[in-house]
Amino acid sequence: MQLEDYFDFQRPDDIRIKGTRIRIETILYDFIHRAQTPEEIAESYPSLTLEQV
């Protein structure tokens, strides 16, 4: 698999989860700073699957 299979590279500072408008920074922030589990993150963003998280 290639990174492009999982992410849309809009610009160098704008990377989004493939097929969504959700930025990778949003997911990382929830995981690192809010200490959310992947399951909690997937519940927070209905357009994401657990695999995408």
Q: How far is CA 15 from the centre of its chain?
A: 9
Q: Residue 17: enclosing H or E segment and its boundaries?
A: strand 14-17
DSSP letter for each residue of 24-49: HHHHHHHHHTS---HHHHHHH-TT--
The answer to whether the CB of 18 falls within 8 A of the CB of 8 is: yes
Question: For every one of its 53 residues, what pLDDT tens digit does the chain have, with 9 covering 90 and above?
Answer: 788 889 999 998 999 999 999 999 999 999 999 999 999 999 999 999 999 99
Domain spans in the chain, listed from the N-terminal domain onward = 1-11+20-53
Start-to-end C-alpha separation, the chain: 16
pLDDT at 1: 76
pLDDT at 12: 87
